[in-house]
Structure 1
Amino acid sequence: MYNIFQQENFRLPFVWNLIWRSFLCVLLRCLTAAGSPMTAASPPPLTPPQLPFSPRRPPPRPISKELHFNHDLSATKKLQAGVDLVANLVGVTLGPKGRNVVLSNKYGPPKIVNDGETILKEIENALFESDNLSLLKSCEPISLLLDKIELEDAMENVGVKLVRQAGARTNDIAGDGCTTSIVLAQGLISEGNKVLAAGMNPVQIARGIEQTAKVLVSELNLLTREVQDEEIANVAAVSAGNDYAVGNMIAEALRRVGRKGVVRIEDGRCSETNLKIVEGMQFDRGYLSPYFVTNRADMTVEFNDCKILLVDKKITNPKDMFRVLDSAVKEKFQLLIIAEDFEPESLALLIRNKLKGVLKAAAIKAPSFGDRKSDYLNDIAALTGGTVIKDEMGLTLEEASKEVLGSAAKVVISKDSTLIVTNGSTQHLVEKRVSQLRNLSEYSEEKFQKKLLNERIARLCSGIAIIQVGAQTVVELKDKKLRIEDALNATKAAIEEGVVVGGGCTLLRLSTKVDGIKESLDNEEQKIGADIFKRALSYPAKLIAKNAGVNGDVVVQKILSNSDANYGYNAAKNCYQDLVAAGILDPSKVVRCCLEHAASVAKGFLTSDLVVVDRKQTETAPMRVPAKRPLPMSKPMRPPPMPSPNLMRMPGARSLSQI
């Protein structure tokens, strides 16, 4: 018998493989014939459930308005309530013995401030949200306002925003005097409403206030005198809340950099406040794109050990900058390009490489225009030790290399200004340039040309004073910084337009001039407007005395009874003396702005006969989902019958009837 296992080329795995494949084929045929689920059609895709209703977004409702006519002075009274609220709120900070206000912060430590403008900004940002504003309860006027901080009445909110314009405008122009402007505006509005209630013509009253303000500004110029060097410290100290350490530091800074020099305020790294003098130049040109910003918190470009490229023409071809940019990338130095202008393609090249992290660069336009632009570029070149690229000089941007670049120890560029600080290595070039400018100024006959030359000399000669504010805590640091900023702004205003007697006494002296102003007015109602201004001028002095714990009416009467123009009340020492000798001075510019802006706000307030505000929107009711319907049933469901007690009886047990 022939045995297949005895063949030499027989392989057992090959046979088993054939058997296994045959078995699978038979199995698949059987499953297919039986209609196995493996070959069944896939179920249809699931569809999302359909809601029994289709919710639709309601159409936007038109914003309705409310019209409030001033027939019975009801609108004016509500507006005045908002004015009084703001005036009482910021008025507690007025004078050397004014209280502080604590402003809470959701994302950081609270701020303790003594500045009316800062308080108003917080009120405007928070829109009178009670959880964003908390006040010291030690002050009685503030504690009385705690329940009124959140104004639900739209009319009072309009009054708040209206009177805020007086303080904000004064602070923007003069840098100080926000609180005084608001208090003076409150006095004009309060006294004006009294005469309007008697039936006076508001138009003539407002015209009398306007004419009186113009004449009082002229009288103020007669009382103004130029500030002396030794008085700068007093002006700064009074604005800083009688902090003579701050006043002396600001006076020293201006003495070293000049009255037209630049003084900056920065956060210090220690607990002591220090003064640092550095050389530098500042001009009004900002970065051309916010993509150059390196400090997101302050939105500024800050470079250290920076190179500067000066180009006296418009950069049209981005390829012309390749040689300079290649050096900046290879040697990894920061680059500032100052040119007449930039084409979008050239600017896009810098922005693209800045965003990629390949290049640290920024671009600004050259200061001034025309011939003066070239002069300013030459001044910057002398300060930084660079070379201005001009076609007239035979030097093109394409051929420029690292040797034509200037250098700066620090460059700070904001949205509208640029500060260049050097390390003093180019002092000999600066002195040579200043000597040339002084010679031109001496031989120049035009006053305007002389003024421009003197400004350029001041930019080159004057360094930059940096006041590094130090404190123990962040709260104290912010408070100090605000006080120093107010003192610096007041000092600059005093240098610009002179000084007058402080402590509210100048406004009181101006009130004695009103009787002479009334003779030039047209009718009796305008004269009544002048009398309103006369009474309102005593409001700041009364409030200063009130914050010091003294009767304001008595103080005003005693000051006016003395004919000496310098005689007044020193609230810091609680005595009457010569305020000029005591160093209590106010910038004339601040007083002028207070008169003009308070009169402007009061004029618009008193002549308002209609107020239009948004109607308070009621909250819409939430959408209700319809109740689910019960499922249809053919027969009502009945509870199952209880089992018979006989079925539950065990064998041998007795029923209840047998017991």
Structure 2
Amino acid sequence: MLSRLGYSGAMGVRSFAKDVRFGVEARSLLLQGVNVLANAVATTLGPKGRNVLIEQLLISPRITKDGITVANNVQLKDRRLDMGAQLLRQATNNTNNKVGDGTTTATILARGMACQGMHFLRQEKVNVQLLREGILEGSRAVGKALGEMSQSVDTIGQVEAVARIALNGDERLAELIGDAILELGENGVILLKESHGPNDTVKIQEGVTLPSGYCSPFFATKVDANTMELGNCLLLLTLAKIDQVEDILPALELARLKEQPLLIIASDFSSDLLKILVLNHLQGRVQVCAVKAPNFGEEQRHEMQDLALAMGAHLLEETSWLADLSEKDLGEVETAVVDANETHLLKPIKVSEDQMQCRIQHIRELIDEAITDEELCRLNTRLGRLQGHLATIYVGGSSDLEVSERKDRLNDALHAVRVAISDGIVPGGGTAYLRCIPALDMLPPAKVMEHQVGREIVKDALRLPCYTIARNAGVNPDEVLRRVLAGSGNYGFDAVTGEFGNLVDRGVVDPTSVMQTAMTDAAGIASLLATTEVLITKQPIKPKIPNNQVTRDLAKLVGM
């Protein structure tokens, strides 16, 4: 080990600052880390996969069956082993970012191919780049074969089948997804929120709903319901803070002349102005209501721009713009319902469809580039508002742990359903991969030995998802593999019932894109792992902890 080598001289002993490992030893250390992460993630695969309990600092533990969540929480103390886990985690993250599901499958495939590749490299005179090319060539053949066997999703029953597999057999949540997509269509926006009770519910919202209510309860006309309903309502949108009634006199006068109610959504209102508006409303001069714009800063600007397009209004950004207001600056809706917490705008009357579609396409592009879950949620909310309808699934449970675990699975299921609708489905349970083995056998003869070995590595890995699902289900995985390989087409193993049959008819299916992406990402990472020759890591440095009781207790709390 180079880190322990050095030389003695007049100046003392000098050693390397980093740990450097070569060849078989380097790959063996990487493989140990790969195995730890893959073993943790593989336990969640299939309808009878197990839960993983994850410690969280200063808060209660998290329980989950979501592969990407498990992978992202595996950190190893030994830096050399952790590098292997990090590389494998990259495959799961790539798959999750592209299609939102299939991370566990990608992990299992990558581990299988990496192990086989490292074993082969123990032989001498092997061209590692040709081996990598062979693995990638095999993965491309598998992706093409999956595309050829793909079947389109034509019914809500098939949608629910895809969701049920991603949800590990949860019928209730799968039905909620099916109901939402049946109501909204395949491009509808579905949001996830925590329920205040133990039950799961879905709420379909038509029109545009803002998470802001009236600024004063005196605006409410229905005392019992604490709501205000405005029919054939004019809409004024501004980013300015309105301090004086003179700022909005043109809008009030226009509403009085047209004998229509006026809803004002602004960044803020002064207390004096609100008193005048309430008094004006109660005296019946102009039916008016004031609502604060949701959010703040740049996010508020984006949401108000969306709202202006959806309502056919112009967004007036400064107070000076209000003085020159004309009728074309105001939006108009058939009905506006305002309560203390929300504002519902239904059936806008004048909307530019071309501008709306351009804005919708722009937000969809931002969604594709989104990195964090919070950013993705905000963009999906904006998209739903522009489209005029969205669904919210409220996830219930007996504890915060259960709700969190079910939300993880539901999020995966929504992504799986999206890609299944767009790209089709294949038989699940790992059967689709087994049906790709003949495609590898039918490839033209390899010109070099390494290419053929790469294909064989991919072929062996294709057996692993089915094997792992059967093992997690508590049955003999070798027997399951034998029987599925002896069959053809959609014939496979249903781990829920423990029976064999036509998996598509039984609703055991996987999205084609998820399976293709998992194979592609796994092959890329596995070929890099297998062809690694040198491993360089920093030497571990023990942190110096001040010698007092408080600091020692804090250090113990964070694991130092």
Give me the TM-score of the superposition, normalised by structure 1. 0.61
How many Å separate the matches in 2 of 1:481 and 1:612?
Answer: 39
Q: CA deviation at 1:604?
A: 1.2
Q: CA deviation at 1:310?
A: 5.9
Which residue of structure 2 aligns with residue 336 of structure 1? 293
How many Å separate the matches in 1 of 2:94 and 2:267?
Answer: 48
How many Å separate the matches in 2 of 1:115 and 1:457?
Answer: 26
How many Å separate the matches in 1 of 2:337 and 2:92?
Answer: 39
| 2:204 aligned with 1:270 | no
| 2:21 aligned with 1:68 | yes
Of the three residues 483, 490, 493, the one matched with 1:569 is 493
CA contact (8 A) 2:307 2:385 kept: no
Q: Structure 1 190/305 Cα, relative in aligned 2: closer, same or farther at 3 Å?
A: farther
How many Å separate the matches in 1 of 2:393 and 2:183?
Answer: 13
| 2:112 aligned with 1:187 | yes
Matches within 5 A, 1:248-287: 248-280=175-207
Which residue of structure 2 aligns with residue 379 of structure 1? 309
Which residue of structure 2 aligns with residue 467 of structure 1? 393
Letter in 1 for 2:344: N
Of the three residues 198, 221, 227, the one matched with 2:153 is 227
Which residue of structure 1 aligns with residue 452 of structure 2? 527
Of the three residues 122, 138, 155, the one matched with 2:73 is 122
CA deviations over 1:320-341 (Å, ceiling 9, x no partner): 9994779722456554399xxx
Q: CA deviation at 1:437?
A: 6.5
How many Å separate the matches in 2 of 1:575 and 1:234?
Answer: 17
Which residue of structure 1 aligns with residue 45 of structure 2? 94
CA deviations over 1:237-285 (Å, ceiling 9, x no partner): 1110111111111000011111101001111112111110112569xxx
Match of 2:56, SS? coil
Match of 2:426, SS? strand
CA contact (8 A) 2:268 2:292 kept: no
How many Å separate the matches in 1 of 2:31 and 2:308?
Answer: 57
CA contact (8 A) 2:307 2:386 kept: no
CA contact (8 A) 2:311 2:348 kept: no
How many Å separate the matches in 2 of 1:223 and 1:538?
Answer: 18
| 2:36 aligned with 1:112 | no
Q: Structure 1 508/281 Cα, relative in aligned 2: closer, same or farther at 3 Å?
A: farther
Letter in 2 for 1:115: D
CA contact (8 A) 1:387 1:404 kept: yes
How many Å separate the matches in 2 of 1:337 and 1:320?
Answer: 21
Q: Structure 1 257/535 Cα, relative in aligned 2: closer, same or farther at 3 Å?
A: same
Letter in 1 for 2:19: E
Gaps of 5+ in 2: 1-13, 216-234, 249-265, 275-289, 366-381, 548-560
How many Å separate the matches in 2 of 1:214 and 1:326?
Answer: 53
Which residue of structure 2 aligns with residue 423 of structure 1? 344
Which residue of structure 1 aligns with residue 435 of structure 2? 509
| 2:412 aligned with 1:486 | yes
Match of 2:301, SS? strand
How many Å separate the matches in 1 of 2:87 and 2:457?
Answer: 19
Q: Structure 1 472/572 Cα, relative in aligned 2: closer, same or farther at 3 Å?
A: same
CA deviations over 1:533-586 (Å, ceiling 9, x no partner): 0001111110011111122222112111113x1000011111111000000110
Gaps of 5+ in 1: 1-60, 128-150, 283-300, 339-349, 352-360, 368-372, 411-420, 442-447, 624-659
Letter in 2 for 1:208: G
How many Å separate the matches in 2 of 1:506 and 1:245?
Answer: 26
Match of 1:225, SS? coil
How many Å separate the matches in 2 of 1:160 and 1:233?
Answer: 34
CA contact (8 A) 1:310 1:337 kept: no
Q: Structure 1 399/462 Cα, relative in aligned 2: closer, same or farther at 3 Å?
A: closer
CA contact (8 A) 1:337 1:364 kept: no
Q: CA deviation at 1:204?
A: 1.1
CA contact (8 A) 2:314 2:330 kept: yes
Q: Structure 1 619/112 Cα, relative in aligned 2: closer, same or farther at 3 Å?
A: closer
CA contact (8 A) 1:323 1:401 kept: no
How many Å separate the matches in 2 of 1:458 and 1:86?
Answer: 37
Match of 1:363, SS? helix
CA contact (8 A) 1:273 1:468 kept: yes
CA contact (8 A) 1:310 1:381 kept: no
Percent identity of equivalent pairs: 28
How many Å separate the matches in 2 of 1:67 and 1:91?
Answer: 30
Which residue of structure 1 aligns with residue 424 of structure 2? 498
CA deviations over 1:55-104 (Å, ceiling 9, x no partner): xxxxxx9992222121xx11001100100111111111101111111123
Which residue of structure 2 aligns with residue 550 of structure 1? 475
How many Å separate the matches in 1 of 2:308 and 2:197?
Answer: 39
Q: Structure 1 207/309 Cα, relative in aligned 2: closer, same or farther at 3 Å?
A: same
CA contact (8 A) 1:97 1:548 kept: yes
Match of 1:96, SS? coil
| 2:509 aligned with 1:582 | no
Instruction: Give the number of the structure whose alpha-carbon radius of gyration is greater.
Output: 1
**In terms of mean alpha carbon deviation, does 91-100 or 468-477 score higher?**
468-477
| 2:93 aligned with 1:173 | no
How many Å separate the matches in 2 of 1:532 and 1:320?
Answer: 75
CA contact (8 A) 2:127 2:450 kept: yes
CA deviations over 1:387-428 (Å, ceiling 9, x no partner): 45599xxx9455349994789879xxxxxxxxxx8524x315
Q: Structure 1 433/533 Cα, relative in aligned 2: closer, same or farther at 3 Å?
A: same
Q: Which has the higher contact order (CA 8 A, sep 6+)?
A: 2
CA contact (8 A) 1:305 1:409 kept: no
CA contact (8 A) 2:243 2:269 kept: no
Could you list the structure 1 runs, at least 4 aligned residues long, displaced by more than 6 angstroms after superposition: 318-322, 324-327, 405-410, 456-459, 620-623
How many Å separate the matches in 2 of 1:600 and 1:322?
Answer: 65
How many Å separate the matches in 1 of 2:77 and 2:383?
Answer: 56
Which residue of structure 2 aligns with residue 80 of structure 1? 31
How many Å separate the matches in 1 of 2:407 and 2:528?
Answer: 35
Letter in 2 for 1:540: P
CA deviations over 1:93-134 (Å, ceiling 9, x no partner): 1011111111233433322211111112223xxx3xxxxxxx
How many Å separate the matches in 2 of 1:532 and 1:167?
Answer: 20
CA contact (8 A) 1:206 1:607 kept: yes
Task: Report how many residues are paired.
Answer: 456
How many Å separate the matches in 2 of 1:85 and 1:492?
Answer: 31
| 2:237 aligned with 1:237 | no
Q: Structure 1 548/327 Cα, relative in aligned 2: closer, same or farther at 3 Å?
A: closer
Alpha carbon RMSD of aligned pairs, Å?
A: 4.2
CA contact (8 A) 1:67 1:611 kept: yes
How many Å separate the matches in 2 of 1:106 and 1:122?
Answer: 12
CA deviations over 1:282-321 (Å, ceiling 9, x no partner): 9xxxxxxxxxxxxxxxxxx95445987368xxx9xx9999
Letter in 1 for 2:92: G
CA contact (8 A) 2:117 2:527 kept: no
Match of 2:199, SS? coil
CA contact (8 A) 2:426 2:432 kept: yes
Which residue of structure 2 aligns with residue 363 of structure 1? 300
Letter in 2 for 1:309: L
Match of 1:216, SS? helix
Match of 1:259, SS? coil
How many Å separate the matches in 2 of 1:327 and 1:619?
Answer: 51
CA contact (8 A) 1:92 1:99 kept: yes
Which residue of structure 2 aligns with residue 370 of structure 1? none
How many Å separate the matches in 2 of 1:321 and 1:533?
Answer: 73
CA contact (8 A) 2:426 2:511 kept: yes
